[in-house]
Structure 1
Amino acid sequence: MPQFALEPAVIEPMVEALGFELVDLRVAGSAARRVVRVRIDLPGGGRPGHGVTTDDCRRVSRELESRLEAAGAVATQWELEVSSPGIERPVRFASHWRRYVGREVRLKAVGVRGKARATIVAVPDDAHVALEMEGAVVTIALEAIQDATLVVDWSTYGKREAGES
């Protein structure tokens, strides 16, 4: 019987084939009952008011469940949850870090006390990110980042780039 080993390399091509981008993948629960949480978005991250719908999530959920079961990727009882990333979206993969250079994130990482705020300065390679934290630029391995989300600037959120006030 196959092991329950779902990772982005397995899920991402399935999500992309359906016309979406994999934003986050988390597997939780016990060995007896796994919960697979998948967050999807439109390619390029969507924009305010033009994101993933509940119908999109339902369609992706049905397709993923069918494809994973057909591939024998799950060997235990499991539950699949598919959702949009939300406004304060996770920043998980190197491509996300690159897309959001210049943006502020809230993160938890090995060697960083509590949740910290930082600005993404650069992504020198697929394994590291340079962040400005407390006035200094530090380079952190992506694998050391346990959780990271974009910080939303509510004063400008949803306004058109054309200068709407």
Structure 2
Amino acid sequence: MTDKATQLSTLLAPTVESLGLQLLGIEYLPAPGGSVVRLYLDVPDAEVETRHVTIEDCEAVSREVSARLDVEDPISGNYTLEVSSPGVDRPLFAAAQFARFAGERAKVGLKLPQDGRRRLTGTIVSVDEASITFDVDGQPIVVAADNIDKARLVPDWAALGFAPARDLPGGDARPGKPGRKARAGRARED
């Protein structure tokens, strides 16, 4: 996270927690016409199996966070506030979040190049306070946690039921579409 995102996270986490939710992280995207402040919410770890972030949760957080930002005024100029659940391609902001998803695949952007690359996609193997180890094409790559600019989980579309149909006679290989038989043209009877 950027310094501004870290500052905003420290300021807003208590407000989010007071509503029974967890602030996963904040993206702060400055722009000349107005910045974007994007908050990602989740339910507390103890409730992950029984509850999900709802639209009503996002609306409540948006109202409370807007009021807090109006009082504290930590952002100069115009900004747009976006409040979201993490989604299937969940962003990862902290080492503890990587640890929670050990064994899952993640797409990672680095602040500084490492081993000749600025991006990598690999399986999260292990995590400690200072680094995260990924398996990238069978090779372990250890990345310093503070060198990670952005990271997201890579959804397992097959496990979610959205993998392309394969090996079906006449099947349609588009994601999310069940296999279909090709229609043969019909001769018109007059």
Q: Same fold (TM over 0.5)?
A: yes
Contact 1:31 1:76 survives alignment (8 Å): no
| C-alpha distance in structure 2 between counterparts of 1:9 and 1:83, whole Å | 18
How big is the shift at 1:29?
A: 3.0
Deviation at 1:120, TM superposition (A): 0.9
Q: Which runs of 5+ in 2 are unaligned?
A: 162-190
Q: Tell me which residue corresponds to 1:98.
A: 99
Match of 1:22 in 2: 23
Please give the secondary structure, in 1, of the residue aligned with 2:83.
strand
User: Aligned to 2:128, what secondary structure does the other structure show?
Assistant: strand
Give secondary structure in 1 for the equivalent of 2:113.
coil
Q: CA deviation at 1:140?
A: 0.6
Compute the RMSD of aligned alpha carbons: 2.5
- Deviation of the 1:114 alpha carbon: 5.8
Equivalent residues of 2:62, 2:83 under 8 A apart: yes
Provide the rounded CA distance (Å) in 1 between the counterparts of 2:75 and 2:156: 40
Distance 1:31 1:154 in 2: 37
Residue 157 of structure 1: aligned partner: 160
What secondary structure is seen at the aligned counterpart in 2 of 1:154?
Answer: coil
Secondary structure at the counterpart of residue 30 of structure 1: coil
Which sits farther off after the overlay, 146-155 or 24-33? 24-33
Distance 1:22 1:74, change over 3 A: same
Across the two proteins, how many residue pairs are aligned to each other? 153
Partners of 1:149 and 1:75 in 2: how far apart? 29
Gaps of 5+ in 1: 159-165
Given that residues 26 and 37 in structure 1 are in contact (C-alpha distance below 8 angstroms), is that contact kept between their aligned partners in structure 2? yes
Equivalent residue runs for 1:30-49 within 5 Å:
30=31, 33-44=34-45, 46=48
Q: Is the 8 A contact 1:6 1:73 kept in 2?
A: no
Cα pair 2:95 2:128 within 8 Å, conserved: no
Higher relative contact order (CA 8 A, sep 6+): 1
| Per-residue deviation, residues 107-160 of structure 1 (Å, max 9, x unmatched) | 2223253642211111121x31111122222211122222211122222238xx
User: Percent identity, aligned pairs only?
Assistant: 31
**Structure 1 segment 68-107 matched on structure 2, within 5 A:** 68-107=69-108
